[in-house]
Amino acid sequence: MEVGFHAGLSSYAFLEANPKALVTSFDLGFHECVGPAKELIDKTFPGRHQLVIGDSKTTLPEYRGNAPDVEFDLAFIDGGHRLEDARSDIESLARMCRPGATVIVDDILPDQFWGKGPSQAWDEKVREGVVVERARRSSEPSGDVFSAMWPRLGSYPLPRCWVIGTFV
């Protein structure tokens, strides 16, 4: 599962990497790319992707209420980047993933404005014993994807860092 579908790049990667994987994405759904991206995913990977539209602070608990037996194996959190969003996503998914499931949180960049929320939420949940950190990964700063999505940023190379852990 993932929070943050946007242009569907991560969903596409999961579905392409593992032909047996089923992916459920949660997204606010207000970006224009969401509709065409969903169409492409459904055409390319028929029957393997579900998209739940709305604020994940509401839709994740609702989903759990409607499907209490579903336990996700892997959660990729790349939705709202404010502290309350990232914190809520980790808390909800701790209840919706099987114990030992892998959780990846994108944008662990405490020095960048968009990375403060995910970084603080992650550190809190590690301290509380909700998750165990296994690894941090980063890639070379890149402007390619971002300049395509947000041309006003130009080719400013953005640092990338994410964390990989397991739910307790």
Ligand X SMILES: C[S@@+](CC[C@H](N)C(=O)[O-])C[C@H]1O[C@@H](n2cnc3c(N)ncnc32)[C@H](O)[C@@H]1O
- List residues near ligand X by CB under 6 A: 3-10, 26-28, 31, 55-57, 78-80, 85
Q: Closest distance between ligand X and the C-beta of residue 23, in Å?
A: 11
> Residue 13 or residue 132: which is nearer to ligand X going by CB?
13
Edge-to-edge strands, sheet with 72-77: 49-53, 23-27, 2-3, 72-77, 97-106, 158-167, 131-142
* Angle of CA points 48, 24, 147, to nearest 5°: 100
> Residue 88 or residue 130: which is nearer to ligand X going by CB?
88
Q: Closest distance between ligand X and the C-beta of residue 122, in Å?
A: 16
Q: Which element (helix H / strand E) includes 115?
A: none
> Residue 63 or residue 167: which is nearer to ligand X going by CB?
63
Closest CA to 154 of 165, 142, 137: 142
Q: Closest distance between ligand X and the C-beta of residue 127, in Å?
A: 23
